[in-house]
Amino acid sequence: MKFSANLGFLWNDRPLPDAIRAAKVAGFDAVECHWPYDIPPQEVKAALDETGLPMLGLNTRRGDVAAGESGLSALPGRQADARRAIDEAMTYATAIGAGNIHVMAGFASGDEAGAVFADNLRYACDAAAAQGIIILIEPLNRHDAPGYFLQTTDQAIGIIKAVGADNLRLMFDCYHVQRTEGDVTTRLHALLPHIGHIQFASVPDRGTPDHGELNYDHLFAAIRDMGWKVPLGAEYKSDKPTDDTLGWLASARDRLA
């Protein structure tokens, strides 16, 4: 079983290139990030080349964060802004060799928002196909992100089927799915053909995966037994320095060897 450090949460007190190096020292197999755009891509690429870690993915910009935005692609009337964000993410991902782009939907609801989201995803998938990049969409739970357009895996699968692009897949975050839907192992089995990336954290506090509602000893083994080969994304929060939270990583490797 392989693991990826999500540097949006882990070592986020360091510049991204230094966080990449820290992830390598800690024994992660890959890295991923949220919004790397303030760091020149050549600096990120240099750290990736130095460590040999692949960058699995990044997110499109959220928009006007001060105004409460968290994604643009399902917002009616904001198609131009959404596509600029998609283009920016595509350019950055290509420059650093990232394999996935998470296109963030934003806070919206209704049929018009769904149609806008589908159109923007078609645009993203068309642009990404030429670069061999996968487009991801991620349901966010209603407790942490009330009003977010994409809230359930069923809704996401409906959109994926409607868009009909081979490079559009589901980001399955075990934390979000458990908080909204539950039955995580069964859903993983059922949705595996549509999944492009899997992330995890404890429930309900979004901490390290060694406590809470989900038994990650069971879940990691189940994912392994499904034949999943892509590193799983550790996207958890902690009030401790990241290096002091990694006991779960050594334990998981020992159990899953």
Residue identified by tokens 């782009």 is: 101
- Global confidence as pTM: 0.97
For the question of residue 235 being annotated catalytic, the response is yes
Strand order in the sheet with 30-32: 30-32, 3-6, 232-234, 195-200, 168-173, 134-137, 100-102, 57-59
Q: Supply the pLDDT for residue 93.
A: 98
Structure tokens that stand for 235 in this block = 């996207």
Specify the CATH number for 3-248; select among 3.30.460.80, 1.25.10.10, 1.20.120.1200, 3.20.20.150. Answer: 3.20.20.150
Q: Supply the pLDDT for residue 23.
A: 98
Contacts of 115 (CB under 8 A, 6+ apart): none
Q: Supply the pLDDT for residue 256.
A: 85
Q: List average pLDDT for each run of 10 residues in the chain, which is 257 residues long.
A: 97 98 98 98 98 98 96 97 98 98 98 98 97 98 97 98 98 98 97 98 97 96 96 96 96 86
Contacts of 55 (CB under 8 A, 6+ apart): 30, 31, 32, 33, 44, 48, 96, 97, 98, 99
Alpha helices in 76-201 (DSSP H): 79-96, 111-129, 153-163, 174-180, 184-191
Q: Which of 32, 112, 138, 181 is catalytic?
A: 138
Q: Supply the pLDDT for residue 257.
A: 72
Cβ atoms of 180 and 142 within 8 Å: the answer is yes
**The CA-based dihedral angle spanning residues 84, 196, 21, 35, taken in that order and rounded to the nearest 10 degrees:** 20
Bond into 76 cis (ω within 30):
no
Domain segments of the chain as ranges: 3-248
Q: Supply the pLDDT for residue 165.
A: 98
Q: Which of 43, 69, 88, 235 is catalytic?
A: 235
Q: Supply the pLDDT for residue 126.
A: 97
Q: Supply the pLDDT for residue 183.
A: 95
